[in-house]
Amino acid sequence: TQLLEQSPQFLSIQEGENLTVYCNSSSVFSSLQWYRQEPGEGPVLLVTVVTGGEVKKLKRLTFQFGDARKDSSLHITAAQPGDTGLYLCAGEGKSTFGDGTTLTVKP
Amino acid sequence: DSGVTQTPKHLITATGQRVTLRCSPRSGDLSVYWYQQSLDQGLQFLIQYYNGEERAKGNILERFSAQQFPDLHSELNLSSLELGDSALYFCASSVDAAGELFFGEGSRLTVL
């Protein structure tokens, strides 16, 4: 069974700060996806990373896939209150999700 | 709006009862997935259907069952409900197994 562990579980920061959240596994994934879920809504796909060592940028968000394709990170620069939400990573096949990082950005 | 519709949005029922959650996928999507999300937790995969046939099964309890109909909508049936079944149940759809996943807004089930 493939497992994805996300850390930290909770993160509360001030607007303008930078942060990094992690998604780790002992298994190799052919791809990993990151989702953001806002309260009262379903998750929305942010990015899919498929190549070991790959870096993808989405405005202030930077996603990295580990060289061994066992881990991934999400870095947010100059966080804004609109970034508040639950960030989930998921492995290919859509059946394995991490428990998520709940991010709160205070104005 | 993801294009995936789930009903009902909220449901309150008692232990021992049975409920049915309904999902209409995005137009053209053949795959439907069901997930359970407990408070502040990630998504637990329950089951996947593709064009009416079961494709994959996760940690779905025997008290739960699902099906996908010819018009591609899907229903998740939860029976002999227990307090621990209280959760958000999400449906998601994709064009195929490799396609992007689009989630509905979820059905919040409360078992009293």
Provide the residue-wise pLDDT of chain A in tens; the chain has 107 residues. Answer: 678 999 999 999 999 999 999 999 999 999 999 999 998 899 999 999 999 999 999 999 999 999 999 999 999 999 999 999 999 999 988 889 999 999 999 99
Helices vs. strands in chain B: H and E counts, helices first: 0, 11
Q: Which of B58, B100, B103 shows the shortest C-beta gap to A95?
A: B58
State whether B97 and A94 contact (CB < 8 Å).
yes
Residues in chain A: 107
- For residue A82, report the phi and psi dihedrals to the nearest 5 degrees: -70, -10
- Number of C-beta neighbours around residue B73 at 10 A: 15
A88 touches chain B (CB under 8 A): yes
State whether B103 and A93 contact (CB < 8 Å).
no
How do strand A32-37 and strand A44-49 relate by DSSP bridges?
antiparallel
Query: Nearest C-alpha of chain B: how many angstroms from A53?
Result: 21
Ordered DSSP codes for A13-46:
EETT--EEEEEE-SS--S-EEEEEE-TTS--EEE
Side-chain-side CA neighbours of A74 within 13 Å: the count stands at: 29
For residues A64 and A75, give the distance between their C-alpha atoms in angstroms, rounded to a whole number.
8
State whether A94 and B45 contact (CB < 8 Å).
yes
Q: Are B35 and B57 in contact (CB under 8 A)?
A: no
Q: Tens digits of per-residue pLDDT, B20-36?
A: 999 999 999 999 999 99
Q: Tens digits of per-residue pLDDT, B24-72?
A: 999 999 999 999 999 767 899 999 999 999 999 998 999 999 999 999 9
